[in-house]
Every structure is written in C-alpha cells, then in structure tokens.
Amino acid sequence: MRSPALAIGWAFLRRHRWGLIAVAGYLLVVATIRFLILEPGAPVQVDSGRFAAMGSVPLTTTFVYLLAVFSFGFGGDLSARHSMYPARMFTLPVTNAALVGWPMLYGTAAMAILWLAARLFAVWPSGIEIPLIWPALLAAALLAWTQALTWMPYGLPGIRLVVAVLCLAALDTVVLLAIHFKAREPMMLAILAPQLPLAYLVARFAVARARRGEFSFARPGSSVVRVAAAWPVAAGARGSPAAVRAGVALARQGRAGIRLRNIVSRTCHAAVHGRLHSMDCEPAES
C-alpha cells in the first residue's frame, strides 16, 4: 500500500470498522422511522421526546464518537505529556503534512456527511429555519482544533485537557454569540472557514514536535536545553546511576524540571560538602 491516503484510511477503517458500521446502521434506522413510521407534517417541539430521539441525541452521540475516532482519542491519554497521535505512525515513510492532512480530511468529510444525513433524515422542530452549511463547518472546525490540541505534546501532565477545554469553549462562545445576534449564513461561514487552515497549521507543528520527541517548548539551542543536556553528566560525576536517571527524567520536563533539578542539585551539593567537612573534622584513629 504505497499511498499515504490509503494507508491512513485503512488504519481508521481497520480499527473502527464495527463502530462506523454501527453509526451507519443507526442513521439508517433513524431515516427509516422518519419516513415510514412518523406521521408526516406533525408538529415537533424543541423539548419533545420525538426531537430528542430522532434529532439531538443521534446527532450528538455520533458527533462525539467521530470526534474521538479521528483525533485518536480512544488510544491516547488526555492527561499525559506526550502527543495523543499514535507513535507507531511516526515511523511511516510519509511527511508530516500527510500525517496531519489525511486524518483531518477524513474527519472533515465524516462531519460533512453526518450533517448532511442529519439535515435530510432527522426530525427538526417546527417553525425553526435549519441552516444549510455552517453547522457542518462548525463540526469540522471543532474536530480540527481537537486534533491540533490533543496531538500537541505538552511540558506538564494535565495541561492538554485545560488548553483543549478553554480553546473549544472559546470557539463555542463565539458561535453562540453569533447565533444570539442572528448572524446570517455568510457571516457564520466567514467566522468558521478560517478555523480549518489555522487548526491544520497548529496540528502540523504539533505532529512535527511529537515526531522529534519534544515535550517542552524550549528551543534546541536555548539555555534550558543546554542545562538539561549537561545535567546527566554533572549528576554522573557526583551521584549514583539512580541520580542520573532521575536527572534525565527531570530535564525532560522542560523549565519546571530544570528548576526542580537546580533545587535537587544544590541540596545534594550541600549534603556532599557537609559530609566531607564532617569527615575532615573527625579525629583519625591511632
């Protein structure tokens, strides 16, 4: 399989084929009920059980599932420092652009198909004008930013979850404000369309850093990295192999690790000097 598009698409299909088949079957059942069982032209309220069962619940459930599938959420750890992008795919002989672009393209296509199916087959409340395009673009933008933020390696555990929640909440807030002020379809498209290329650039930067094994945002030539690189040698000169391993682990945590390393280094240095001083003061045995 020489095509990166086919290889990455096959990876999604192989791992999630039963889930995707279940989603397709679920939407088919919803469409069957919509056209063959429900009374046509019957009024539907926003808070009715019919709208929940045939509209909001299937749409939300499927959206969350696709969000997890195309951001590799089922196989990653949100609280970890390393990227949630599968490390096994970093060994593929493809560019970073391919590693980022094809999952984002497949995810965008899946969100567009989901909205199209919901627009045609779901039960919608009476008297409400359903938008045509921008909800699909909103779903694609939320997926793209989820991919970019979860594929980014972070210097400390737990930061990924905080950053993702804040950024996605900010995008949701902008969209809700636009809806509140009754923005038209062109305005919504103007707000959402730039999100896709911006998210792609961030995701490409994230995957490039993860592929190089970077965790902190310090540059390769910065003083932080130089001190981190010098730590194992210094620790080996005055400590045990366990101290060397601990120093390497601390240095990999970026600036926070360097600060903690300095504290540990000073403590060990003072302890060693204190021990040497006490040995000098002890009387020699006759």
pLDDT per residue rounded down to tens, the chain (286 residues) = 578 888 888 888 888 989 888 888 887 887 787 777 666 655 566 556 666 666 677 788 889 999 999 999 888 788 888 899 998 888 888 899 999 999 999 999 999 998 988 888 777 776 777 788 899 999 999 999 999 999 999 888 888 889 999 999 999 898 889 888 888 889 999 999 999 999 999 999 999 999 888 765 545 554 444 444 444 444 444 445 555 455 445 444 444 444 444 544 555 445 444 544 444 454 544 4
Say how far apart CA 29 and CA 58 lie, in whole Å. Answer: 11
- Show the beta-strand stretches assigned E in 13-170: none
Encoding tokens for residue 251? 């240095």
* pLDDT number for residue 131: 84
pLDDT of 235 reads 43
Segments making up each domain of the chain, as ranges: 4-211, 223-281
CA nearest 115: which of 191, 47, 55?
Answer: 55
